[in-house]
Amino acid sequence: MEDSRIGAAESHNKRPERVVASKDALALIAELRAQYGEILFSQSSGCCDGSVPLCCEMHDFHVGDCDVLLGIVGGAPFYMHKTQYAYTKHAQLILDIAKGNGNEFSLEYGTGVHFVFELRLFSEAELAALGADSR
């Protein structure tokens, strides 16, 4: 499998990004930004679709004290609820797309694809570069 992720740490001396995106995901993000303007991602810890990244218009989502900013992908902030972050802080979130309609509350609904993610465990060197909050 070819590694087409954008933003992965290129050396162990560089602080790795907590969230990266595939080229396909970045292309969809660009399309959605062109259509809707400023957008963001939310990875909730709710019971319904809690493992699905939701793409929202910036003004439709209230960022609260329980939301952790993981990073920026394609110009869009990516937030995760702090309880879910506690379980994933040792891993890099890789945003991608898959065929089929996903959650109807996410902006990509109806495009024939939906956002998905996988996790890649950070190496010991990457964890060290991230600091104490990653352990």
DSSP labels, 7-75: S--SSTTSPPPSEEEEHHHHHHHHHHHHHHSSEEEEE---SSSTTS-EEEEGGG----TTEEEEEEETT
What are the domain boundaries of the chain? Answer: 15-130
Please tell me the predicted confidence (pLDDT) of residue 8.
45
pTM score of the predicted model: 0.85
Residues 96, 25: contact at Cβ < 8 Å? yes
**15-130: what CATH class?**
mainly beta
Please tell me the predicted confidence (pLDDT) of residue 50.
58
Please tell me the predicted confidence (pLDDT) of residue 2.
41
Q: How many residues does the chain have?
A: 135
Please tell me the predicted confidence (pLDDT) of residue 102.
80
Please tell me the predicted confidence (pLDDT) of residue 135.
64
- The pLDDT tens digits along the chain (135 residues) read 344 444 444 444 588 999 999 999 999 999 999 999 999 999 866 655 557 899 999 999 889 999 999 999 999 999 999 988 999 999 999 999 999 988 888 999 889 999 999 999 999 999 999 986 766
Which is nearest to 74 in space by CA: 22, 115, 111? 22
Euclidean distance between CA atoms 85 and 100, whole angstroms: 27
